[in-house]
Amino acid sequence: MITIGTRIYLDQVRRKKRERKWFLQEREQGIRKMRWQMQNRNEKWSDLLDSLSRLSDDHRIAILLKHYYGYSYEEIGEMLGVPAGTVKSRTSYGIKILREEMIRNV
């Protein structure tokens, strides 16, 4: 029984590792695709977009929904299934990171 339990646990760990690797590859391909599409339309890929693409998904989604689409913190919280305070925290922290990156790039 211990051997079976151990093997099941190791299989789950390996699966999570593969899923994480796949997710990161998909994310990078999506960013490259967006950059390519913008360049084909003769639009500039700005440093801000580059910095935004490096944020975690939670922070990026919160910032985009709040500041680009104009949703309230409560609405975003309902969409993401998290409290409004968590959305405020993610938005604030994400903007802080973006500001630091933009200052470094200047």
pLDDT in tens, 57-90: 889 889 888 988 899 999 999 998 999 999 999 9
d(CA 21, CA 27): 10
CA-to-CA separations, 36 to 2, 27, 43, in angstroms, rounded: 51, 14, 10
Is the predicted pLDDT of residue 13 greater than 60, yes or no? yes
Q: Which of 52, 34, 65 is nearest to 94 (CA)?
A: 52
Gyration radius (Cα) of the chain, Å = 18
Round the average pLDDT of the chain to a whole number and report it: 82
Beta-strand runs (E) in 1-106: none
d(CA 30, CA 52): 13
Q: Which pTM value belongs to this model?
A: 0.60
Of how many residues is the chain composed? 106
d(CA 56, CA 67): 16
* pLDDT at residue 27, rounded to an integer: 63
Taking residues 30-43, what's their average pLDDT? 69
